[in-house]
Structure 1
Amino acid sequence: MEEFINVEEKAISVAEAIITRHSVREFSQKAIEQSVWDELLNLSKRAPSWKNSQPWKLRILQGKSKNKMAESLVNAAKAGPPSPENPWPENYPADAKRRMFDLGMKIYGVAGIDRKDKAARDQFMLNNFKFFDAPAAIFITTTFDLNFYVGIDIGCFLQTILLSARALGLGTCPQAALGAFPDVVRKELELQPEEKVICGLSIGYPKEESQLNRYHTPREPLENMVQFYN
């Protein structure tokens, strides 16, 4: 059975933020107030990292800068394959492939896209590079050498942003796709070559009465992933 929840209101506890957070792909055009940005970023900077190394930088785009970036990324996505800083994984275990396929079909279904409609599916994919028309986008970058532990640190930082945003009534969609064309991002933001573009997220207030936003992704039963030893 499909599960749908309302993510338009603020989460009132850490537990509620964790349980109710999921990706939002339809946004209100209401701008994020500076006071909300300040609270979000001050919360997020408390994320843990190896020996307090804090291997992250944030590039936040709104308004004209966001629109210009979206245009450049869409053009890049239409022109050729991704070239992320670190190769994306290609091989997944069979159970993971099943979950990934099932999620894609369910998202398309809630979005009203027929699985045989390739044009609609391609446009839905391109919406990643338009930030799903969110009022703001965040790019996470680093000047550190990329390795497994830097990846863990940035993952902790990203999750802290997602949960803090949920607590403030904001919706987010974390996107590996926003690291697909790092040279485009560096050029648009005039970054130094050593600043690597890792990933990003679309962020804003969720669009009201959006069934797509209310679709809640399933998780594996605990017995399939946890074993206790006494």
Structure 2
Amino acid sequence: MKSIMKTIESILQARYSCRAYQAQQVPQETIQEILDQAQRSASWCNVQPWEILLLGGEATRRFGDAYYEHVQSHPANPDFPWPERYEGVYQQRRRECGYALYNTLEIKKEDREATQRQMLENYRFFGAPHLALITTPKKLGVYGAVDCGIYVANFMALVQSHRLACIAQAAVASHPDFVRDYFNLPEDRLLVCGIAFGYEDATQKINQYRTTRDSIDHVVRWEGFN
């Protein structure tokens, strides 16, 4: 049991949000194995609401180029509203994350052009050769989205277990109408997020950046324990 826990711990410790990739594609049989294992994810009443649109190679590049152009002239309109606001500790963590990222890239806070240029790389999926688009049925509402979140977490852990890299991208879900039109998806499929993945480019400075995690003392309330 301890060896299993150590394996899980090592995967969770090693995983990070990769923002630079090699062009090399992941073998399809490896992706198939990840998908087979991720399908074991828990879901409300076992409804398994997720449907995955998986891109590779030239399809990823073409979609990225089209999306990159689209977002520069169209406002975001996500299926699931962005957070109303970040306050208190949530704003503190968000700022820490952003400052550390841009400091790694030596982008100053006031350099709006460089900041915007880096932000737009979300829509080219940071050069990843693969993109998984995660959708859920509209009628399942927030519970379908929560189930997809469980699936996304498991998918990312499995990617890491295969010594690959990935990043979950809310930005990819910012223009769902464009995505549905591009891929001819049904209107009742809501776009939850994208997951870009592939082999990390360890030579890129941006992949040296890591986020921190708060102590459980700040997020767990214990009742009924001595």
Q: Which residue of 1 aligns with 2:114?
A: 120
Out of 31, 39, 46, the position equivalent to 2:33 is: 39
Aligned equivalents of 2:82 and 2:117: distance in 1?
21
Aligned equivalents of 2:9 and 2:37: distance in 1?
16
> What residue identity is the alignment partner of 2:115?
R
Q: Which residue of 1 aligns with 2:3?
A: none
Percent identical residues = 27
Aligned equivalents of 2:83 and 2:149: distance in 1?
16
Aligned equivalents of 1:150 and 1:38: distance in 2?
23
Superposed structure 1 runs of 4+ greater than 3 Å apart: none
- Where do 1:1-230 residues align within 5 Å? 13-230=7-224
Deviations 1:48-76 (A, max 9, x none): 00111000100011222212211221122
Give the TM-score of the pair, scaled to structure 2: 0.92
> What residue identity is the alignment partner of 1:166?
Q
User: Larger relative CO (CA 8 A, sep 6+): 1 or 2?
Assistant: 1
Aligned equivalents of 2:112 and 2:146: distance in 1?
35
**Contact 2:137–2:144 (8 Å) recurs in 1:** no
- Offset of residue 98 of structure 1: 1.1
- Offset of residue 195 of structure 1: 1.9
Pick closer, same or farther for the CA change 1:74–1:146 going to 2, 3 Å. Answer: farther
Deviations 1:167-226 (A, max 9, x none): 001111101111111111112111122222221111111112334223221011221112
Give the TM-score of the pair, scaled to structure 1: 0.90
Give unmatched runs, 5+ long, in structure 1.
Answer: 1-11
Give unmatched runs, 5+ long, in structure 2.
Answer: 1-5
**Contact 1:55–1:144 (8 Å) recurs in 2:** no
> What CA RMSD, in Å, does the superposition of the two structures yield over aligned residues?
1.4
Aligned equivalents of 2:210 and 2:69: distance in 1?
31
> What residue identity is the alignment partner of 1:23?
S
3-state DSSP of counterpart to 1:79: coil
Aligned equivalents of 1:30 and 1:75: distance in 2?
24
